[in-house]
Structure 1
């Protein structure tokens, strides 16, 4: 009986507490102000774990934060599998015996792609890092071929030497510019030496194109006993080494089989890496989405299109231009330093070296300004011809501002020409092409190149330089 009374009391108390809690919440909701109050503290964004070219994005210098995001494009790791494969590369552990060209051809057949290239030829017997670029990533092959390399090799000496230290000193001596070919060895060291078998393991960091086989011969000559290369393995190519997702031919074959038969692309994404991984050591320039397609068509990289830029950019340094999603647009040569970018508001930041992104990945955003819109309207009304050039209906105000760049270099025909008449006519453009190409044979009787002092609609000032 007592137990029953106790349980009923507990239930009653719980109900009272619940009712009281509900009343308190209702009162609080009506009496208190629920606001996100302004604070002086700024929330910190940790981008140290962001992938590829977006790593430490928050540490880039901000030129402007105002831009219109476009839905086009995608993060390199989130691309569709077909685009992912065509925009990727493989850090391949090349097997011994087949040549580099054979291995690359096999990869092309396995992945069923049109173009593949590699980061630098390895001899058939040599193993190790061979970066195989696929489709669009082949645009980076040239820069990867010129990147530094590291090797671990075995040298066999023809006769015994006094000590291991003698071999170590000889290896360290062969650094700097070598005249087998003018290639630089940055660093070299002896790893291990077996005096019984006269085999030495050494490590070399060198410029692309260094002949390690010749280096072993020179090493033997330096020691006075003779020597030859026994075995060689490339352990680093550019910025990618043996620990950077290196895969074998079997891994590539299995990943493609898994995708073909089970539609599982996870293994393919593990084997193939985005091309942006090759550019993580470059200084970055982040562009607005509206400027991306113009750069893909060859437009100059102008300062108003820059969102962020990295510290330490130097004049004539190779940099990578990227989107806000971390996609590589192009490789470029810097024409402004970081200090100049921070102080200027206009000008050309860099000149394009190699466009990486395909055209029309992002929409066209040029030709939408007030002048371009006015020009389109005048073409529709017939005030300009279909090419946007002035005609007889063009207003004088437009003609005054219009510059005909066809007159910047022209040809003056003082005595007439078989292709036209005396003056600025006939074969002007034909002759200009001859001048530009250095072909001095024209059907004109006599003609001269005109250097223009001013350019206008009514014709240029005539400064004739006879030949």
Structure 2
């Protein structure tokens, strides 16, 4: 087992860690994840939600065995700041036009997307007009995963009667990761060099967090060390091994931890955590 996340060695941190990366403009999200993989010296890395090459901002990237956690980002709420480039003078009621797009909207993925082009519903949790200057408007968008901001900007332009397209786009949050703790590629590079060449791991710990950080929003189930050893061999979590649980709602995705806070697996709650017998968690991803 990996033990207390706060006591892990740099090698353990890199092999089961997450970087809240500030993606630069230019490379694709896949390329950036590849750079981090090579910097960390691990065999795998995965980003939490694609960003187009020109888009910047929050791109949590999982290292090593932490790629097994990628599913927790599938439904993560995203937040963006976008420049709306209007094709004519902004209407006096632009605030009202923008407000009409809060709630459920219908979108068809663009032709270049990797998904089937079928009309689908996405929820806009928040949409705020921050500033208007000439023919540019600054928007803050909080939306469901899978929302096409470029299409949203196009549709706002049609509703405004001017036409519009998306200018610069920056993602400011993905789930519980936001732009207050971002690290650049250069930060990660310098931290790795500082540790490998000078033995100072403090900068590395500042930019690479234990992978458990990605599970903040997932209900916890604490299990005994003996149960964790069985899970590592592929067994489900049985009631006698459960020490505590944050939920008893069946069908919930949960994360199982050892008493010292190390994540062991992701699974589905299928039984009463307070029961004396029977399966409590069916495994989806073993993390150890």
Q: TM-score, normalising length from structure 2?
A: 0.92
Aligned to 2:173: 236
Match of 1:315 among 231, 247, 250: 250
Match of 2:80 among 143, 146, 151: 151
2:141 is paired with a residue of what secondary structure? strand
1:246 aligns with 2:182: yes
1:255 aligns with 2:184: no
Measure the CA separation in 1 of the matches of 2:38 and 2:202: 20
Match of 1:327 among 235, 259, 262: 262
2:12 is paired with a residue of what secondary structure? helix
Match of 1:201 among 109, 130, 138: 138
- What is the root-mean-square deviation of aligned Cα atoms in Å? 1.4
Match of 2:273 among 332, 338, 341: 341
Q: Deviations over 1:204-225 (max 9, x none)?
A: 1111111101100000001111
2:249 is paired with a residue of what secondary structure? coil
CA contact (8 A) 1:283 1:313 kept: no
Match of 2:63 among 115, 134, 143: 134
1:341 is paired with a residue of what secondary structure? coil
Q: How many residues align?
A: 276
Aligned to 2:117: none
Measure the CA separation in 2 of the matches of 1:97 and 1:145: 24
Aligned to 1:273: 209
Measure the CA separation in 2 of the matches of 1:178 and 1:73: 44
Q: Relative contact order, CA 8 A, sep 6+: which one is greater?
A: 2
Aligned to 2:12: 83
Aligned to 1:303: 239
1:137 is paired with a residue of what secondary structure? helix
CA contact (8 A) 2:153 2:164 kept: yes
2:273 is paired with a residue of what secondary structure? helix
Aligned to 1:173: 100
Aligned to 1:351: 282
Shift of 1:145: 3.5
Measure the CA separation in 2 of the matches of 1:189 and 1:139: 35
Measure the CA separation in 2 of the matches of 1:154 and 1:349: 48
Higher-helix-fraction structure: 1
Measure the CA separation in 2 of the matches of 1:86 and 1:167: 49
Q: Deviations over 1:290-338 (max 9, x none)?
A: 111111222121111111122x4312111111000100111111123xx
Measure the CA separation in 2 of the matches of 1:209 and 1:327: 31
Shift of 1:116: 0.7
Measure the CA separation in 2 of the matches of 1:298 and 1:172: 49
Measure the CA separation in 2 of the matches of 1:300 and 1:108: 31
Measure the CA separation in 2 of the matches of 1:225 and 1:189: 19
2:234 is paired with a residue of what secondary structure? coil
CA contact (8 A) 2:242 2:273 kept: no
Measure the CA separation in 2 of the matches of 1:280 and 1:100: 23
Measure the CA separation in 2 of the matches of 1:276 and 1:107: 18
Measure the CA separation in 1 of the matches of 2:69 and 2:175: 12
Measure the CA separation in 2 of the matches of 1:78 and 1:334: 29
1:114 aligns with 2:43: yes
Shift of 1:73: 4.1
Measure the CA separation in 2 of the matches of 1:217 and 1:313: 44
Shift of 1:176: 2.9
Higher-strand-fraction structure: 2
Measure the CA separation in 1 of the matches of 2:66 and 2:251: 23
Structure 1, unaligned stretches of length 5 or more? 1-71, 358-467
Measure the CA separation in 2 of the matches of 1:133 and 1:348: 30
